[in-house]
A and B are shown apart, each in its own frame.
Chain A
């Protein structure tokens, strides 16, 4: 069965500092991994994905994520946080043999000026 864990309910970071939002996953077969962001009263917006290839994936708004197969992790990173990055972030996993996309419980990122 597929599952995703986001161990931190909230991450606080000062503007200009690097940020990391953690995600670990469990899936049979090779994983397809995604990060989405949700702003208040809106649906989720796609940030980036890993299907195959380079372990470091670059996405929208300066975000990137690193796929680590041995640690079954896909942490979201950004070198320099902005106040406007404050939002709810979701990690999600699928695989080649399923049509379902399973989400984690979300991590609220708060960037302080």
Chain B
């Protein structure tokens, strides 16, 4: 039972480069979320999805795009990385009223 799997675990980018973070869940959950965690800031919601083919903006969406083409996958894209996007990114999913299930995170450094 894998739960929520995030790839990659670590990544270093140069300013201006692009990348995609992949989140996969095997629990048939409808809802999926991307958060970023920064010291002293807690977790901030970037984007989320309430079902396949849908996406919505969270608290800090600028500089990120997302797609949910398949129910089990939620992709987070950075088109032109900036040092301010250095963070730990967490994906989470839930079904109905259940609590969020989190992945183990992706540590991204932008130099």
Contact = CB atoms under 8 A, between A and B. Distances in A.
B104 A105 contact: no
B100 A46 contact: yes
B104 A42 contact: yes
Contacts of A9: 40
Interface string A59-97: 000000000000000000000000000000010000000
Interface residues of B, number: 25
Contacts of A25: none
Nearest to B94: A101
Contacts of B31: 99
A99 B49 CA distance: 9
B20 to A, nearest CB: 19
Nearest to B43: A103
A90 B43 contact: yes
A34 B99 contact: yes
A101 B45 contact: yes
Most buried by B among A6, A9, A103, A104: A103
Interface of A: 6, 9, 32, 34, 36, 41-46, 49, 51, 90, 99-106
